[in-house]
Structure 1
């Protein structure tokens, strides 16, 4: 009897512990569980509260939509056309479901959402996935000559068998020779008689206009021969070497940097070979009239209309494969007359950490850079002219008061490279809006 008494007591304890365990396991009453039955979608709307009453019949890829209906927790998988969407149970309730439209273009377009339950039942709902028109963001060389091959970069360059991709150059000149097409890049031969201006690319989903201009003649500051209204010769201690051949120019005369360069950070200070200065306050004999850059009518209008941070510096560059660039940064420095302190014979602003600048170091990731014996277009946003000479963040921002002069100097950059003898050719330095 005694043994049975203790056994009954232990049994009661065990039952109590088990009961407590069961209760503890049930302390997540809101835990997500897939429901049975079938879902019903009444409508699709925007997830934004301010436009929640606007019903949607379609949405662009990667946009978020909200399905509204009944028993939406019964959805186990969901597809837009043939592309599977990612379900996040944190955004699914009995009556609403937030979901991102897949980023991948559907292979088979049915214009439907397919909701699949755990028991493999499929419910369809009419809804279109909208594919954007082509985005034409940049061009390998904006000054590419007729007959040369170029590449434009962007997205949604879709070549449908029934509606082929179409490229139209300025002057309504259609491209007849497309050499390669991917979703994000198209290569083609520049046709004859193309004018300067925007490029249009048309796909089955519509037409997109380029965010740049081919043969862009806007606000050219330096073209080294005056052919586009730019300045033909710099002004300062280093006017730079100007050539018109060897290598062949993209557009007449160009700035030519060349010489030996050490790989150690800041070891090379070669102003004669690798710099040009435009300092309006520099006095020559006899005196010359060199205007402040920011006073040039087109430049002044752009600064006023867009602000410095919505402008970009562009130029064409040529680095031959025979003389790759493997050390130092191209330092692009907009300066005020006071900053240069030219009258005191002092160029210490080159290394003055209070002077913001843009650094271009195209060899940084691979260790070596060349343009494949072609001219290419480079773009540097003025909003990113926030570095010191050694690549650190500058405490000062570039503003319109620092836009009277310009210096290019290949030096330092704060990144160790390799000893080299680069050739760097530059033409058509311009400032244009970021579009």
Structure 2
């Protein structure tokens, strides 16, 4: 057999062999066999498709190798990426292994198998790299001249087919990237439109748009402008929260929650609760009194998310309680039937946003960032335990945001939470 690899394999073989070595008094220990392996074929792990023969597989996929003397393998590489070998998944005749999830640095289209004597056996096999996937953008409403970042996977640059980003059909210069993110500056004059990333392995359009106005419910609060799709909706309930337009504005006026002390047990709906309850005292549901479901289709709500931009200055971080995100139907509340039983009643489903819980504190450094809360997560009581009733299609005529309850193991804070562009979109 040819010794295809140099000292890289020689040095690592000792370490790999030690992984497989067990104490001598273990009767069922894994034993490395002598000689070299032979691969007859490779098939899927799934029994239903086991008759299929594979000549290649995508990264991170499990495959089943069929052959002889497979327990002689002490190290396996797909191109130049090492696979993890699990002794309990290896017999003399079969081996289940996961194709490494890293992009190959060099492509040989081969599997390299090293035995205990450092001999290498090869088998022709292609590692398939998926096209790019796009998860989210740091700020979907970033202004011209501001940097933004798109997060996802398989952002691969190739000399012959470079990594590219287009927004609304315009190619945008990528300033920094790795496999899971790319950073760029919003060009002057960029308008709302789709986002697409392309690599040598394919292209992908994001489900979200840059400057996304689709599904908009609250934009320039209290202002209606058909030209900018501002809906005119604003506070419409018991409490009139601050609507601010200043040097911190993202797009006209924004909603301000907080600017009060928050600790375990705080109920400060006068500062921390934004309510939009549809309807007017005369029984009409039109214009600025409209049902949200008259502005946005929630027919496919199971595959939608609540989105908004948020800005929390570092001087006033958020460190306690959760934001209750509660969609309500006419059966729960309208302006003429105003009540708090639907959000104080703990069995009604809601989403809980608690971004500070992982680190103990959350702020955005005074920058606007996009928040995405899938409706599939709107299934909790106020305290974070499962709700007894699910969201249904008739639960989307009103909206309440209330910083209260949820996670109450934080510290006392005085948060300033700026919110803009509240929308419901496909996810």
How does the TM-score come out when normalised to structure 1? 0.83
Structure having the larger proportion of residues in helix? 1
Partner of 2:236: 235
State whether structure 2 residue 175 is matched by structure 1 residue 179. yes
Give how far 1:316 is off.
Answer: 0.8
Q: Following superposition of structure 1 onto structure 2, how do residues 13-412 of structure 1 map, counting pairs within 5 Å?
A: 32-160=30-158, 163-170=161-168, 172-176=169-173, 178-223=174-219, 224=221, 225-226=223-224, 227-247=228-248, 249-263=249-263, 265-269=264-268, 271-283=269-281, 290-296=289-295, 298-299=296-297, 303-304=298-299, 306=300, 308-340=301-333, 346-412=339-405
Deviations 1:202-233 (A, max 9, x none): 23333232242211121111112333253432
The count of residues paired between Structure 1 and Structure 2 equals 398
Could you tell me how far apart the structure 2 residues matched to 1:86 and 1:140 are? 34
Deviations 1:67-122 (A, max 9, x none): 22333333232211122212233333333322111122222321110112222221
Give how far 1:162 is off.
Answer: 5.3
Could you tell me how far apart the structure 1 residues matched to 2:213 and 2:148 are? 19
Give how far 1:374 is off.
Answer: 1.3
Could you tell me how far apart the structure 2 residues matched to 1:198 and 1:287 are? 33
Give how far 1:239 is off.
Answer: 4.0
Could you tell me how far apart the structure 2 residues matched to 1:403 and 1:287 are? 14
1:236 touches 1:282 (CA, 8 Å); kept in 2?
no
Tell me: CA distance 1:34–1:422, structure 2 relative to 1, closer, same or farther (3 Å). closer
Tell me: CA distance 1:288–1:101, structure 2 relative to 1, closer, same or farther (3 Å). closer
Unmatched tracts of structure 2, length 5 or more: 1-23
Tell me: CA distance 1:285–1:111, structure 2 relative to 1, closer, same or farther (3 Å). closer
Give how far 1:135 is off.
Answer: 1.6
1:266 touches 1:413 (CA, 8 Å); kept in 2?
no
Secondary structure of the 1:338 match is coil
Secondary structure of the 2:231 match is coil
How does the TM-score come out when normalised to structure 2? 0.85
Deviations 1:378-415 (A, max 9, x none): 01111111222233332222222222211112223231
Tell me how large the CA RMSD over aligned residues is: 2.7
